[in-house]
Amino acid sequence: MPTLSNDHAEERLQACRLPALQATLDRLTGAGEVVSTIVLYDNETPTAPAAVALVTIPLTAAVGTINVDNTDPQNTMITLVVTAPREALVTGADPSTGTAPLGATVFDPAGVRVMDLTVSLTGAGGEVQMEPNVEEGGLPVVRLFNGSLARLTSISFGG
């Protein structure tokens, strides 16, 4: 087996990223009325047995787009940006105090888990970003309340 130079090994790695994100986008793209969903949980590990689903948000059939940013030749940014904003009615929050969303899971149109994502305030770096709606201890936070709408302002992840 040949030994690749570091530069060429990096070029090969970069070349794999776009097809990988395209495969994810293809898996999330629904046909007709069938759409992918994102579920927000009260736990950073949505697969944890104690995790409670707070809200299930349907994604559009045209889930999103792949953006390629070649402005830095040493670090090409390839991201899948999900069409937003999307929203849905909260049904699983604590009835008296509301609940902060800490993690999320994306499911394909067949209901099969595709990936887990982090949740943060808009601009704070999570793959799922939400606008703060309350203050706690003088700091803005997101807290979901039953009967209210949960709105996603941004969902993006690299490949």
Q: Whose CA is closest to 152, among 123, 131, 126, 137?
A: 131
pLDDT on residue 89 = 94
Query: What CA–CA distance (Å, rounded) separates 75 from 38?
Result: 29
| DSSP helix/strand/coil, 57 | strand
What separation in angstroms does the CA of 121 have from each of 13, 60, 153?
31, 22, 9
Contact present, 117 and 128 (Cβ < 8 Å): yes
Q: Whose CA is closest to 130, among 139, 142, 138, 116?
A: 142
pLDDT on residue 49 = 85
In a structure prediction context, what are the per-residue pLDDT tens digits for the chain, which is 159 residues long?
676 678 777 777 777 777 777 777 777 776 666 678 889 999 988 888 889 999 998 887 666 776 776 665 555 555 666 666 678 999 999 999 999 999 999 888 888 898 898 898 988 888 888 889 999 999 999 999 999 998 876 677 665
pLDDT on residue 36 = 83
